[in-house]
Structure 1
């Protein structure tokens, strides 16, 4: 076998291996994105299954639930074990600015007297030209969806987090 042939054979073999690995990488990225989207839809559908459930401070059941328990159960439906309080949940995931929120992201609010303390949370359910909508357990309405652009929520909004 000539040296020229050996060198080209080696380069061709390396290129072939690279293409196999790269193609596998691309397909795994695509399948992981599909899995992520499927998980996000499951989180949202689980949260929506609680619509109409009354608010109960510390509540964790369909008889009464608070905002952090809603997140706990929704994310639990895809195998993610979230902390039980909004304050603790706000420390999980990657920070996301309000303008970059996506479906499945968590949103945190300061609804109490302290303007920077997390006291409420929700899950983004829709992002469209109509606004950013999120589901949460409201003290007055129970589990419901609201627009983040609503003056009350816009003023109370602190930050978003991406867990999925």
Structure 2
């Protein structure tokens, strides 16, 4: 009797599976399982802010805020961002595309990488470490005295440091945000020190 019941039950299962209409769609509950009819998954190249993990056999992208960048990458990001302000007019106390001063440019470029610096150049000159001019690198800060006062009044961000040719981006009262060379007599005479923040 048990055998007859088992055969009838098995036959019922076969008949019910065979009567299901094939719609060509994969039921939601089996998406992601290993089947021959599974649609190919488009590969997503993770960028530096993306982490790909597996959850219930599905790939999930998660944004990760704590991505470790090398100091060199951070310096390059700061330099590239500062260059987006080239041609911006000078504005005392400014930190936006509407206008900025020298320390405003440096402050804004570093802040983009979550590095807080003081807002004025003479206070920036108390941060980081003092570097010999011969060891200057891209991303270092150069400080100047541009008045008769015996204090730092101007700052620039080094964007190029090749032998004998150091260029820095800064904001000037006359031309706004520009790139200048340390070989220009005015800047050579006004130069005070180099500091490395990163």
Q: Compute the TM-score of the two structures, normalised by the length of structure 1.
A: 0.77
Detail structure 1 runs of 4+ shifted over 4 Å in the superposition.
Answer: none
Aligned to 2:153: 119
1:89 is the counterpart of 2:133: no
Matched position secondary structure for 1:124: strand
- In structure 2, what is the Cα distance between the partners aligned to 1:119 and 1:63? 22
Gaps of 5+ in 1: 1-31
Q: CA deviation at 1:128?
A: 1.2
Q: Aligned with 1:41: secondary structure?
A: helix
Cα deviation, 1:61-87, whole Å, max 9, x if unaligned, reads 111100001111111111101110001
In the alignment, which residue of structure 1 is the partner of 2:113?
Answer: 78
2:173 corresponds to: 139
Greater RCO (Cα-Cα under 8 Å, separation 6 or more): 1
Larger Rg: 2
Which of 43, 49, 71 aligns to 2:78? It is 43
Q: 1:162 aligned to 2:196?
A: yes
The structure whose residues are more often helix, as a share, is 1
Q: TM-score, normalised by structure 2?
A: 0.64
Q: Distance in 1 between matches of 2:104 and 2:94?
A: 7
Task: Report the CA distance between 1:129 and its aligned residue.
Answer: 3.3
Kindly tell me the number of residue pairs found equivalent between the two proteins: 131
CA RMSD of aligned residues (A): 1.2
| Structure 2 gap segments, 5+ residues each | 1-67
Deviations 1:1-44 (A, max 9, x none): xxxxxxxxxxxxxxxxxxxxxxxxxxxxxxx8x61111010010
SS in 1 for 2:138: coil
